[in-house]
Amino acid sequence: MLSEAQALLKKVFGYTSFRGGQGKVVKSILSKVDTLAIMPTGAGKSLCYQIPALLFPGITLVISPLIALMKDQVDALGELGIPSTFINSSLRPAEIRQRLEDTAAGYYKLVYVAPERLTADSFAELKQKLNISFIAVDEAHCVSQWGHDFRPSYRKIAAFISSLPKRPVVGAFTATATPEIKADIIKLLGLNLPQVYVSGFDRPNLYFSVLRGVNKEDFVLDYLQKRSGKAGIIYAATRKDVDKLAEMLQRYKLPVSKYHAGMRKAERAENQEAFLRDDLPIMVATNAFGMGIDKSNVRFIIHYSLPKNMEAYYQEAGRAGRDGEAGECILLYHPQDIILQKYLIEQTVYSPRRRQHEFGKLQAVVDYCHTSKCLRQTLLAYFGEQTADNCGNCSNCRDDREIIDVTLEAQKVLSCVYRMWERYGANMVAQVLKGANNKKIRQLKLDRLSTYALMPEYSLQEIRDFIGFLIAEGYLGLTEGKYPLVKLGPAAVAVLKGKRQVLRKIQVQKTVEEDGLFEKLRQLRKEIADRENLPPYLIFSDATLRQMCEIRPIDKASLLRVSGVGEVKLAKYGDEFLAAIISHK
């Protein structure tokens, strides 16, 4: 059946061959063996259950917690002429009843369903009538309490499968899983002697970098202004940060929208749709956004705040470059973020054992931010994958940053902290160094210190950022608590005595000029998407457009050789894209 699967891959989806571990996973499922596939975001998990669904008799149930993913994939399958639907809480009761009736009548090959729906009376009655040949459990890590997104409803999936008149083949899919979580998936989903496939977690097209001690707002503004038209997501830890950053970027007329759980449902849906359609290609969001968003042309992910664990970071960063084109994953680090994340853990995790577990996961992220080793190696090692060489595609390996000697400035700051008896926070230290003349400074007699007004040429924000850099490098430390105090670090004495030099690396951002034809095809794709009422990436991915630019097809036969162009899309859009390519000078 694998040859049939490969034929479908080209005819329906437009790809000449499986990539990564897709072929092995599809072969295992078609052999009617329970299968656990651990594949990184962007590795093409959906094809691993969509192709078997087309070859198996009856229907395939795709169990997913992600409403956005359901709609996205059903829309994409509809574009390819594949009958599918979804059943979840976004539908009105009458719509659910109609879709259940159509499912019972055999109208669909794939039915996407939320895990909570499995225990509903209407679905319990329906399952006795259905010929379910295959069940795909997406986001399978949600079944484990040690996963980064535990959902109790996933614990009921095994009982649902056991209650079916005939047990179907079961496939479980997830992007990230430690050995502990992998064992939980197999046990708690009741997988029967499963084949386990772990595709390499590496995403070679993604560039990873950690920037410490930068002015976050200034960096983001400068970065976006140099990348006009590029789609990306900026993740912040709190709703307040999302609102503040989005408002600032909108003042500069950047095409930005926002998303967090404190917004009205209709507003969230509207902003998400604008992002998917490239009307507002930049999204500022909390981690409430992105699960199930299959937008392939995201070119960058910026973590404005420290993520809570490596699983969440790699999943969110992996939303860049899903089309195989280059993507940037930038983490902006400040030690204050650690305090915030610890506070969020304390407020949301009630089990003492699990809380310590989460603190340990947070420390792994902090270690990642401080390491001088290859960032890709550090990420992969966390998931149990070893690499021999440096990747050459992260900020630590490329080392493409300007090095500045800031020893004198460091001595001024360290001396000021010492003379303030290590009793104050970073903001107060910055005010003393700046020479702020306010009531509190005078009351505390801090204006009498020898370090008062030592750095008047710098703004308060620049001094605060520099203090953050010194903390990140270990020259200064922070106490824990709601109002952390700045302390001298172990290396401070050597710097103060002139025995140690302090060097600071400044990232130099580079822009890439796009080909004129690529922009022309991108605009055509947007016009067609608006006409068809679809997100642009469902027409063709960036990678497909770029290959059109390289091949320059002149007829339908040559256009069909472009990866991502299948027979259905050739018939729908081929003439328009060929006309644009042929007319381009």
355 lies in the same domain as 430: no
Cα distances from 496 to residues 351, 393, 410, 413, 472, in angstroms, run 44, 36, 8, 10, 18
CB neighbour list of residue 265: distance below 8 Å, 6 or more residues apart: none
Identify the sign of the CA torsion 80, 84, 89, 95.
positive
Quote the pLDDT of residue 43. Answer: 74
In a shared domain, residues 43 and 191: yes
- Domain termination site, one of 158, 173, 198: 198
Q: For 472-510, what is each residue's pLDDT tens digit?
A: 778 998 876 557 799 999 999 999 999 999 988 665 444
3-state secondary structure of 564: coil
Q: How far apart are CA 552 and CA 546, in angstroms?
A: 10
Residue 165 sits in the same domain as residue 252: no
Are 365 and 459 in the same domain?
no
CATH of the domain at 496: 1.10.10.10
Amino acid symbol at 277: R
Other CB atoms within a 10 A radius of the CB of residue 490 amount to 9
Are 328 and 471 within one domain?
no
State the residue range of the domain holding 330. 206-398
Q: Residue 250: what pLDDT? A: 95
Rounded Cα–Cα distance for residues 394 and 543 (Å): 22
Buried b / exposed e along 267-287 (16+ C-beta atoms within 10 A): ebbebbebbbbbbbbbbbbbb
Q: Are residues 211 and 348 in the same domain?
A: yes
CA 176/CA 360 separation, integer angstroms:
17
In eight-state DSSP terms, residue 448 is G
Please, which residues have CB within 8 angstroms of residue 156's CB and are 6 or more apart in sequence?
115, 118, 119
Written as six digits, the tokens of 226 are 């140099």
CB atoms within 10 A of CB 364: 14
Cβ contact 29:171 at 8 Å:
yes
What is the chain's length? 585
Asked whether the CA dihedral 546, 551, 556, 558 is positive or negative, the reply is negative
Q: Which residues pair with 235 in a beta bridge?
A: 285, 303
- Tell me, yes or no, whether 54 and 149 share the same domain: yes
Domain boundary, last residue among 370, 398, 426? 398
CB 329 within 8 A of CB 300: yes
Residue 8 structure tokens:
């479908």
Structure-block tokens of residue 201: 């977690």
Q: What is the pLDDT of residue 509?
A: 46
The pTM (predicted TM-score) of the whole model is 0.64
* 476-478 vs 486-488, strand pairing mode: antiparallel
Count of helix runs (H) and strand runs (E) in the chain: 25, 17
3-state secondary structure of 510: coil
Identify the bridge partners of residue 256 per DSSP, sorted by sequence position. Answer: 282
CATH number at residue 532: 1.10.150.80
Strand, helix or coil for residue 227: coil
The secondary structure of the chain in percent helix, strand, coil, rounded to multiples of 5, reads: 50, 15, 40
In this predicted structure, what is the pLDDT of residue 506?
62
Based on the domain organization, do 368 and 490 belong to the same domain? no
Residues whose CB falls within 8 Å of the CB of residue 485, separated by 6 or more in sequence, listed in order: 422, 423, 424, 425, 478, 479
pLDDT reported for residue 505: 66
**DSSP annotation string for 116-177:** GGGGSHHHHHHTTT--EEEEEESSGGGG-TTSTT--GGGGGHHHHHHTSSSPPEEEEEES--
Per-residue tens of pLDDT for the chain, all 585 residues = 778 999 999 999 888 889 878 999 999 999 999 999 998 776 788 999 999 999 999 999 999 987 777 888 898 899 899 999 999 888 888 998 899 889 988 899 999 999 988 888 777 778 888 889 999 999 898 898 766 677 888 999 999 999 998 999 999 999 877 778 889 999 999 999 999 998 877 888 999 999 887 889 989 999 999 888 899 999 999 999 999 999 999 999 999 999 998 999 899 989 999 999 999 999 999 988 876 677 889 999 999 999 989 988 998 998 999 888 999 999 999 878 888 888 888 887 777 887 888 888 888 898 888 777 789 998 988 887 877 678 889 988 886 557 788 999 999 999 999 999 999 998 999 999 999 999 999 999 999 999 999 999 888 878 987 898 888 778 998 876 557 799 999 999 999 999 999 988 665 444 434 568 988 998 999 999 999 888 888 899 888 898 898 888 888 888 988 888 988 899 999 999 999 998 886
Residues 314, 272 within the same domain:
yes
Of 507, 529, 560, at which residue does a domain stop?
Answer: 507
Q: Are 172 and 144 in contact (CB under 8 A)?
A: no
Residue 311 and residue 390 in one domain: yes
The whole-angstrom distance between residue 199's C-alpha and the CA centroid of its chain comes to 18
**Tokens standing for 496?**
């103060």
- Other CB atoms within a 10 A radius of the CB of residue 195 amount to 17
Same domain for 370 and 486, yes or no, is: no
Dmax (CA) for the chain in angstroms is 84
Q: For position 263, which CATH number holds?
A: 3.40.50.300
Same domain? 122 vs 264: no
User: How many C-beta atoms lie closer than 10 Å to residue 476's C-beta?
Assistant: 25
| Number of domains observed in the structure of the chain | 4
Residue 416's pLDDT is what? 97
Tens-place pLDDT, residues 201-230: 788 899 999 988 788 998 999 999 988 889
